[in-house]
Structure 1
Amino acid sequence: MANQPEKLFKYCSTSTAVQILESRKLRWSSPSVFNDPLELSHLTEANFDRDALLQATIKLASSMIFSSSNPRGDTPLINAIKRWREEERFEDPEEAETVLGELLAKMVDQRMLLVKQFVETWQQYNKQTRICCFTSRPDSVVAWDLFAQGHSGVCFRFDASGDASAADASAIEYRNQRPELVDLRMQIDAILYNQPMDDHFDFSQFLRIKPPSRKLEMEWRCFRQSPNVDIGSDFSQWTDDIEFQAEELSAVCFGIDIKDKDKEHIQRLLKDQYTNARSYQANLAAGKYDLEIQKL
């Protein structure tokens, strides 16, 4: 787990920067607002249905009957499999699967009800959850390009300690394996070994994973639950603008292509309302594609 940073950085366009400075608020959004097809959303459901779960459970249970070793466990179903093995109840997998189909159907139906409840809980969590995104460095060429209007925006430095808005941030983990809302094999094991659904599942773990191709973004996310109960059905409006204290913003860095008038406007706002914030300028390093951050 990455160490909690003392400072985090927010890249944005100049128009967004002005809104942040004038309102002294940061926008926190539901994951659905990001509209990223690679992330789970409020529309995400289990990637299998009742029949798929039933057939997969039958196949695994049948293989346990004819396996060379005894299955582990002490549930009614596992004990029945052990007894059938001792009695040599079935001559072949096809005969076993017929009996298992009748036995497992009700168990699978009960499990699918739990899966349905789990998905509905996730969907409600997604609607109510609000995320504010930051990065860990002010000199990320990728972040400047993607989030700061192609280097013509700004990068704010926010305090990430104590009770600050950016405190308790979580680093994004960049993995090859995409998370699934409900894992089929885990549900099969739950049926075989009589395991309950986790009533205190941490849904935020689904929102802290991205593909390795985005590793250069060096993203950190802060989470909070929206106090708004009636949020409507338009997911683009699932946002909250949350106020921060002026002293939380300790610096602003201007992009290499920022317009002079935008830079002057932002500097005036800083002088009037954020007297402790320092100003920096990003410049291209000589002979490199790296950025150098210089104090103004």
Structure 2
Amino acid sequence: MTVEPHPHLPPSLYKYCSQNAARAILGNKTLQFSRPGLFNDGFDLRIELAINIDEKAVVERALDQIYEGAYGPKPFPVGNTLGALLLLMRFFPGKPEPDAFKEAMRPCIEELVANRKTMLRQLCDELATETAKFKVLCLSSSGTIAPMWGNYAENICGAALQFAPREEDSLFLTARPVTYVDHEPVLFDDQGFIDWLSGRRGLDDSDLFSQFLYTKTADWASEREWRIVAGYGWQPQEDREYVEFSARDLEAVVFGFRANAEFREEIATLVTERYPECRLREMRRVAGEMAYEIVDL
């Protein structure tokens, strides 16, 4: 089955790893997909959402839209259960005065608006409970990120595995970028919340799972992360799974410049035996600059 890649999918994706992790990945030809509870970010797949609104304006405009939905002459999009009920009311005889109708509805709408934070917290908790069961593979769009070499590649003694999808059904074609934010993503602005209160919009109209899966705080932006999400995985009861990748998709093994000779020789042998299209490369300091570069060996 052909996979439609993200329009900004980079030519290569990198997996930073220690020496032992590199040996395991290359030896078994598998990559580890893990539940977010094993990650080093406590907010991974567990974000908070916000509803930023003008309470008074939202209440008044929601009441107007509810009346229009129930008794107005124009069609309106049905987005949730309330919308379906309002549409049904159009078939009943009689039409109350707008002011009387709105005043009757006002306490309910004001209560929903006042309790929005509680509702939102419950929604986030429910989504987090589900996404906590998901399996994720984390990658990076760059192989020259200094903190990544220090934190994930054994203080520059390990390697970065460079993957480039060459197969039509390559798992790397399903990678999606992480969005980094300085504050909680906004679920509803004024009009969005008004549309929800008046039955014209459902929660499904917002891609909530994508927000949970592909959003991190700006503190992590230097990682330039792309991730592959496998849902509940192939073995839902397990916290981690090891998924096979195509040997053709391994473009290169990039050694850290502190990698010792024994590790390099062992990996070179593995590559020669199992990955004929893979190159050996090295991450080095750029002469005269405070930057890294990747060069072929």
In 2, distance between residues paired with 1:82 and 1:12?
A: 68
RMSD: 4.3
Letter of the 1:175 partner, please give it: V
Aligned to 2:202: 196
Which of 180, 205, 215 is 1:209 aligned to? 215
1:165-224 deviations in Å (ceiling 9; x for gaps): 2112112222323336x6697556522446433188450232222333433222111122
- Asked whether 1:140 is paired with 2:155, we answer no
Letter of the 1:75 partner, please give it: G
Distance 1:124 1:224, change over 3 A: same
Aligned to 1:28: 33
- Asked whether 1:261 is paired with 2:262, we answer yes
- Indicate the SS of the match to 1:166: helix
Is contact 2:233–2:241 with CA below 8 Å preserved after alignment?
no
In 1, distance between residues paired with 2:132 and 2:57?
A: 36
- Give the CA deviation at 1:287: 1.9
Aligned to 1:83: 98
Aligned to 2:253: 252
Letter of the 1:261 partner, please give it: E
Letter of the 2:215 partner, please give it: I
Q: Which runs of 5+ in 1 are unaligned?
A: 49-55, 91-95, 232-236
Aligned to 1:283: 284
1:216-238 deviations in Å (ceiling 9; x for gaps): 2221111222344652xxxxx52
Deviates more, 1:143-152 or 1:30-39: 30-39
Aligned to 1:93: none
Letter of the 2:216 partner, please give it: K
- Give the CA deviation at 1:14: 0.7
Q: Which runs of 5+ in 2 are unaligned?
A: 1-5, 73-85, 87-94
TM-score (normalizing by structure 2) = 0.71
Aligned to 2:229: 223
- Give the CA deviation at 1:156: 0.8
- Asked whether 1:12 is paired with 2:17, we answer yes
1:35-74 equivalences under 5 Å are 35-41=40-46, 71-72=64-65, 74=68
Equivalences, count? 268
Aligned to 2:173: 167
1:114-133 equivalences under 5 Å are 122-123=127-128, 125-133=130-138
Give the % identical residues: 24
- Give the CA deviation at 1:119: 5.2
- Give the CA deviation at 1:71: 4.4
In 2, distance between residues paired with 1:60 and 1:105?
A: 11
